[in-house]
Amino acid sequence: MSLLSFLLGEKKKTAAVAKERLQIILAHERSGRNAGKPDYLPALQRELVAVISKYVKINPDDLKVHFERQDDLEVLEVKIELPDAAAK
């Protein structure tokens, strides 16, 4: 916001204010995470196994969840080994 807008009392639109607040919250959340894996990964892995097991019989050890952080980029990789169709 410019100094002139501040002095004249012009108000920002509600959407712009909400967007700025969300960006601040997201930046705060990201900076507050520890350097290791996020704490939600074990629960995510259990839930994925439960959902996939509804459709395909899998071993929970056949599902791997990997989290990697590179500079400003966060990558969540999910690898699932499905059984052969002939094994059914």
Count how many Cα atoms sit within 13 Å of the Cα of residue 7 in the half-sphere of its side chain. Answer: 3
CA 30, CA 26: separation in Å to the nearest integer?
A: 6
**Residues 71-86, mean pLDDT to the nearest whole number:** 81
How much is the pTM?
0.48
Render pLDDT for 47-63 as a digit per residue (tens, 0 to 9). Answer: 888 888 888 888 888 88
